[in-house]
C-alpha cells in the first residue's frame, strides 16, 4: 500500500525572498553528489530540491540515497523537496515515480502529468514544476485545488507577464508562492532521443553513460561558432546561464517568494553567496557580469530572445 501520510507542507513565504537550490540537472558521480550537498548544507539557501529529473538510466543514485541526503539536509535546517522525472518513458519509470511520490518524508516537485495525477489522487501536497507550463490563473487554480503548495513560473515567461499572472492569481484568491528560475542553464526541452549518446555514435540504450563525462553538459555551437545550447542527455539547455541577481528586489515587489539557483559543477558556492548578498541589497560595485566561467543571459525576463544579455546591450 502506498504511504499517503502527507509530508510537511512548505511554509508560505510572506517575508524576505527565499533562495532555493534546484536539482542537479547533470549526471555526476555518487561522490560528487555527496560532496556537493555536504557543502550546500552550510550555504544560505532555505530550500534544496533533490533527485534525478532528466534520465532514468542515471542509476548511480537510488531513492534511498536521495532520502538519506534529504534527512541530513533537514537536520541542517533546510526544507527538502524531491523532484520527479520530467519525461516518463516506461513502466519502470512509472514504478520509480510511484515510490518517489509515496516516500512519506518529503514533499514532491511534480514535473509531469504522471506525478501530478499520482500525488493529487493520493491527496498529497506537491510543488508544481516549471515543466507543467502554468501560464494563466485558471491553470494555477486547478493546481491549487489539486493540492499544490508552490508553483514555478515557466522559464521563458517575461517579468511583465509574470507580474500580471501573480496579480491575477491573488485577485482570484490563489495566493500560492511563486518560484522563479533565477540562475543557471535554462531547461528548454526534453526528447526521447539522447543527444549526448548520439554525439558519441552510441545507441541510447547502450549509451555507456557518456553524459557523465560532461558534468556541466556538452556545448552545441552554431555554424557561426556561437555557443547556442547545452546538451545534457535527452535534455536541451541554454548555453548561457540566466542571471537575475539584479531583479531580486523587483521579484519581491511582484510577489515572487522563491528564487531558484540551478547547480553547476564549479563555482556554485560563489553563486549562492552573490545571490544572498543581492537579496539583502548588497550588490558589489562595479558588478561583474559573470559569477563563474559562463556566458550570461537574461533575455526572456525582459521579453526578448532568451539568449540576449540585456546588461551588456544597455552597457
Q: What is the mean pLDDT of residues 236-252?
A: 95
% of the chain exceeding 90 in pLDDT: 72
Q: Which residue has the higher pLDDT, 189 or 15?
A: 189
User: Is 207 annotated as ligand-binding?
Assistant: yes
What are the φ and ψ backbone dihedral angles of 217, each rounded to 5 degrees?
Answer: 85, 175
Residue 13 is predicted with a pLDDT of 41
Model pLDDT, residue 289: 59
For residue 71, how many other CB atoms are within 10 A of its CB? Answer: 13
55 labeled binding residue = yes
Q: Are 303 and 160 a contacting pair, CB within 8 Å?
A: yes
Over residues 75-103, the pLDDT tens digits come to 999 999 999 999 998 999 999 999 999 99
| Average pLDDT for the chain | 90
> Which pLDDT band holds residue 179 (cuts at 50, 70, 90)?
very high
The pLDDT tens digits for 268-306 are 999 999 999 999 988 876 666 567 777 899 999 999 998
Reported pTM:
0.91
pLDDT band with cut points at 50, 70 and 90 for residue 52: very high
Amino acid at each position: 500500500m502506498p504511504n499517503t501520510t502527507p509530508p510537511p507542507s512548505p511554509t508560505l513565504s510572506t517575508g524576505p525572498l527565499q533562495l532555493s537550490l534546484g536539482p542537479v540537472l547533470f549526471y555526476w558521480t555518487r561522490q560528487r553528489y555527496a560532496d556537493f550537498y555536504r557543502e550546500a548544507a552550510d550555504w544560505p539557501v532555505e530550500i534544496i530540491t533533490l533527485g534525478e529529473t532528466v534520465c532514468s538510466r542515471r542509476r548511480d543514485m537510488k531513492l534511498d540515497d536521495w532520502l538519506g541526503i534529504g534527512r541530513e539536509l533537514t537536520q541542517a535546517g533546510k526544507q527538502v523537496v524531491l523532484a520527479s522525472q520530467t519525461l516518463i518513458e516506461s513502466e519502470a519509470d512509472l514504478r520509480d515515480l510511484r515510490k518517489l511520490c509515496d516516500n512519506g518524508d518529503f514533499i514532491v516537485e511534480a514535473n509531469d502529468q504522471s506525478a501530478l495525477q499520482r500525488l493529487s489522487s493520493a491527496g498529497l501536497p506537491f510543488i508544481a514544476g516549471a515543466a507543467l507550463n502554468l501560464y494563466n490563473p485558471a491553470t494555477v487554480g486547478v493546481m491549487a485545488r489539486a493540492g499544490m503548495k508552490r508553483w514555478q513560473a515557466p522559464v521563458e515567461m517575461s517579468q511583465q507577464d509574470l507580474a500580471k499572472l501573480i496579480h491575477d492569481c491573488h485577485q482570484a484568491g490563489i495566493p500560492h508562492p511563486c518560484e522563479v528560475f533565477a540562475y543557471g542553464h535554462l531547461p528548454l526541452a526534453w526528447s526521447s532521443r539522447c543527444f549526448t549518446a548520439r554525439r558519441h555514435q552510441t545507441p541510447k540504450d547502450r549509451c555507456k553513460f557518456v553524459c557523465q563525462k560532461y558534468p556541466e553538459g556538452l556545448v552545441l555551437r552554431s555554424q557561426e561558432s556561437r555557443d547556442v545550447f547545452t546538451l545534457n542527455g535527452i535534455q536541451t539547455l541554454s548555453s548561457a546561464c540566466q542571471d537575475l541577481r539584479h531583479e531580486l528586489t523587483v521579484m519581491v515587489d511582484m510577489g515572487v517568494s522563491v528564487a531558484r539557483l540551478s547547480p553547476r559543477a564549479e563555482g556554485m558556492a560563489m553563486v549562492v553567496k552573490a545571490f544572498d548578498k543581492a537579496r539583502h541589497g548588497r550588490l558589489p560595485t562595479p558588478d561583474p557580469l559573470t559569477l563563474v566561467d559562463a556566458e550570461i543571459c537574461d533575455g526572456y525576463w525582459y521579453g526578448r530572445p532568451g539568449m540576449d544579455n540585456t546588461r551588456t546591450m544597455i552597457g
